[in-house]
Amino acid sequence: MKKFFILFLAPYFLLAWNLYPTYPNYLAKKKELLEYFYFKAKTPQKVVALTFDDGPNRHTKAIMEVLKKYNAPATFFLIGKNLKKDSYKLYQNPLFSVGMHTFDHKQFDKVSSAVVDEDFQKTIALFKKRHLQTTLFRPAYGVVNQAIVNNLQKYNIHAILWSNDSFDWDKKRRSYKNVVEHLESGDIILMHDHATKPQELAQLLEVIAQKGFRVVSINELLKYPSALPFN
């Protein structure tokens, strides 16, 4: 009955939280599992965090230039196979932090736990080889499951999800209007290196500031408790 209740209410939270379309299934999982995943900060402070997935790629430098211009921190969740020999040099600016985003963007609810374990090992080893230190991880497609939690515990890693999806991956989207319309204190905003347009990002940063919000790093948000869609 409880699972049905959550699935029934999930569309409301998808609208309120601006999440990914698969979330009705993930939010139906046990609260004890969901508590290992950080969706947003529970705080009255008008702070939000910017995150970029799937890099590094040819668009990353242009995005960083905009962020530097506005002195806006951001966390980049990197795909292991995209990391070349000198990739770490991109992230040496103190404004930027990094997190793991799997080795090759596997969807972890469609593979065995052994494959998930191997992916964590490969990605962690490669980050070390590329001189990138992090305790942050974001599962591809925002997957929530026990195999991920097992590795979070094993390696003392924080899983970072999001509460405000830019939908920049959707070719029909034409602006970040939906981000602004859903903007709330403690939000983690999801964007992608390959889809973010620098001019739109600059406009978004200006509107965020106009609304009285301050952009902070994920590590600063982690000082606050995590807010769950279902408490």
Q: What span, in angstroms and rounded, lies between the C-alpha atoms of 52 and 78?
A: 8
**Measured between alpha carbons, how far is residue 184 from residues 85, 179, 208, 217 in Å?**
38, 10, 10, 16
Is 117 among the catalytic positions?
no
Nearest residue to 109 (alpha-carbon basis) of 82, 75, 135, 147: 147
Catalytic residue among 101, 165, 192, 193: 192
Cis check: omega of the bond before 56, within 30 degrees of 0: yes
Measured distance CA(108)–CA(56) in Å, rounded: 21
Q: How far is CA 207 from the centre of its chain?
A: 21
| Residue whose structure tokens are 């200006």 | 206
Active site residue 131: no
Output the six-digit token pair for 61.
Answer: 């430098």
> Which one of 53, 54, 187, 193 is the catalytic residue?
53
Q: Which residues are catalytic?
A: 53, 192
